[in-house]
Chains A and B, each alone.
Chain A
Amino acid sequence: MTRETTGTAPSLTLSGIGHAYLGRTVLDAVDLSLAAGEVAALVGPSGCGKSTLAHIAAGVVEPSRGRVARRYRRHGMVFQDPRLLPWATARANIAYPLRLLGLPRRERRERAEEAARRVALDRADLDKFPVELSGGMRQRAAIARALAIDPDFVYFDEPFTALDVALKRRMQDLVIEAARGARFGALFITHDLMEAVRIAHRVVVMDAQGRGIAGTRAVPSEPGARDDGTVYRLVAGFLSDDPLFRHIHDIDERRTQ
């Protein structure tokens, strides 16, 4: 039932990834491997290249160096901003990847509504355009869009940063629930260590200059089984005792200014 880190083939393997924007190197020699069904949280200071890495892994950006091996069937992606088509209704937006897959209209509609139900989007809201939806509803539509294609891997790039605390928690629970229910693996980028510890099997810390992975820490027990006390204790322990997380703390202070 639960994920097996040993024995099964990794679902995603990045080897020797390097990338440069206009001659400026932002990533160098990044190696990362995710087990099938594993949810890994990728943390690191802002600007260290987390988004670039996720874009490369998802095939949005061609890396300058290195190889990406994807052993999952199909991935979805959720971005920091919802990235909905402004001219299409929420339903059509959720169905957009299904349209790219060339599914018939009827099936697109059914699967979009099913995905919307999973993220608790009201049926009545599906006929609205993105401008008519609240920020939380838009982000839920973006999550539903990623889930609609029935992915076995999902990339999340700081998806809940713009949401308020209560909504953020609900969205995190939703992802934990969806990952368990559909048993997809995920690369979940976040700058919030609390979020990382709640959601993931493993926390991966990226080097502050994008030169590889600084280190990884397994999070005890399963996502969804950790209560708030456990999460607080784990995060406090990471921040006070673990040198790996020193830079995360620095950046968090800078971000709040």
Chain B
Amino acid sequence: MTTARADAVLDRLGRVGQFLWSGWAGLAGLALFAALWQAGHERYGDFILPAPLATLAAGLTIAADPAAWELAGQTTLRAVEGFALAAFAGAAGGLAAGYSPATMRLARPILTVLLGVPPIAWIVLAMIWFGSTDGTIITTVLVAATPVVFVGVAEGAVTRDRGLDDMARAFGAGPLARLTTLGLRHVAAFLFPALTVALGSAFKVAVMAELLANTGGIGGALAAARANLDVAEALAWVLIAVTGLIVVEYTLVHPIRSEFERWRNAARPWGVKR
């Protein structure tokens, strides 16, 4: 039994190593991006596009300021609150629609309308309803992120394998047991990619809503940088927002997802993994 446990530990270490190794590819991509940025800087000058290193320095200066952390924290909190609400609403609605065709038929036109309204219109509406408060930002994020989760989960629920459902029924599984052991597990594979996308758009929409509604946070700082025509500071704030997103994605979303996708990786031959 101990060898089995050791094997399991080794297997997990191997996957962590593989995951870290894949980071090199990401780093190479970022380096290429920085090189293009530098080229742009040398072509257009400091005012239009500050050098990546100068931006990094500005970013570090901001990062050293506790007040800036408060701003970033404010944005993060709003984005995550809206994201959590969207994840919950989208997952519940998607499950209902995936399991009940009638709900799906009702939900589809509503979804089309929601997706058709540009986010900027939601911001204006939310500002009228909530004024310059957290509520404006959270509502905008909720409206922007829910459809993504809804569609992902509904697609997962619709594509569930009914043969497996029959198999479970033959072995005496009731509706609840089938939902928890088969339905949710299948849906999870669709939920996580959708959550990644939703989290990204939650951050972006939060910053945009903050900027337009003038409610502080990173968006507010960007508005101030624009007013002062301080391009380096504006870029530095963008850098900070993107860094935050990448950190969340690689420490949270990717590890969870790869845990769910283990069996898919098992099917791939060596060398093709990731």
Given contacts A100-B177, A129-B266, A131-B263, contact A87 B185 (CB under 8 A): yes
Q: How far is the CB of A158 from chain B (nearest CB, A)?
A: 14
Contact between B266 and A60 (Cβ–Cβ < 8 Å)?
Answer: no
- Would you call A86 and B166 a contact (CB within 8 A)? no
Decide: A85 near B169, CB < 8 A? Known: A100-B181, A131-B266, A131-B267.
no
CB-CB nearest in chain B for A83: B167
Q: For the complex, what is the distance from the CA of A130 to the CA of B266, rounded to whole Å?
A: 9
Interface pair B263/A129, CB less than 8 Å apart: yes
Closest to A99 in B: B181
A196 vs chain B, min Cβ distance (A): 22
Using known A-B contacts A85-B164, A131-B263, determine if residue A96 contacts B170 with beta carbons closer than 8 Å: no
Expressed in whole angstroms, the Cα–Cα distance for A86 and B177 within the complex equals 17
Q: Which residues of A contact B173 (CB under 8 A)?
A: 100
**In this assembly, does B239 line the interface, its C-beta being within 8 Å of a C-beta of chain A?**
no
Q: How far is the CB of B169 from chain A (nearest CB, A)?
A: 5
Q: Which of B147-183 contact A (CB under 8 A)?
A: 161, 163-164, 166-173, 177, 181-182
**Does B69 make an interface contact (CB < 8 A)?**
no
Complex CA distance for A96 and B260, rounded to whole angstroms: 18
**Chain B's interface: helix, strand, loop or mixed, by majority?**
helix
Interface residue A188 (Cβ < 8 Å from any Cβ of B): no
Of the listed stretches A3-11, A32-40, A74-82, A249-257, name the one at the interface; the rest are far from the partner chain.
A74-82
Check: A97 CB closer than 8 A to any chain B CB.
yes
Asked, given contacts A85-B182, A87-B185, whether A100 binds B170 with beta carbons under 8 Å apart, the answer is no
Residues of B within 8 A of A122 (CB): none
Instruction: Enumerate chain B residues within 8 angstroms of A59, measured Cβ to Cβ.
Output: 169-170, 172
Decide: A60 near B170, CB < 8 A? Known: A87-B260, A131-B267. yes
Task: A101 to B263: give the CA distance in the assembly, Å.
Answer: 25
Contacts of B164 in A (CB 8 A): 83, 85
Identify A100's interface contact among B171, B260, B266, B267, CB under 8 A: B171
Among residues of B, the one whose C-beta sits closest to the C-beta of A76 is B171
* Contact of B166 (CB < 8 Å), options: A55, A75, A85: A55
A130 to B171, CA, bound (A): 19
Among A58, A76, A87, A155, chain B packs the most CB atoms within 10 A around the CB of A87
B171 near A96 (CB under 8 angstroms)? yes
Residues of chain B within 8 A of A149, CB atoms compared: 171
Q: In the complex, A99→B262 CA distance in Å?
A: 21
Could you give, for residues 87-104 of chain A, a 1 whenever the CB lies within 8 Å of some chain B CB and a 0 otherwise? Answer: 110000000110111000
- Give chain B nearest CB distance to A40 CB in angstroms: 18
Does A107 sit within 8 A of B, measured CB to CB?
no
Which residues of chain B come closer than 8 Å to A60, judged between CB atoms? 166, 169-170
Are A96 and B181 in contact, CB atoms less than 8 angstroms apart? yes
Q: Which residues of A contact B263 (CB under 8 A)?
A: 86-88, 129-131
A-facing mask of B100-141, CB < 8 A → 1, else 0?
Answer: 000000000000000000000000000000000000000000
The 6 closest A-B pairs by CB, nearest first: A131-B267, A77-B170, A97-B171, A129-B263, A83-B167, A129-B266
- Could you list 11 examples of A-B contacts with CB < 8 Å? A75-B170, A77-B170, A77-B171, A81-B163, A83-B167, A87-B189, A100-B173, A100-B181, A128-B266, A129-B267, A132-B267
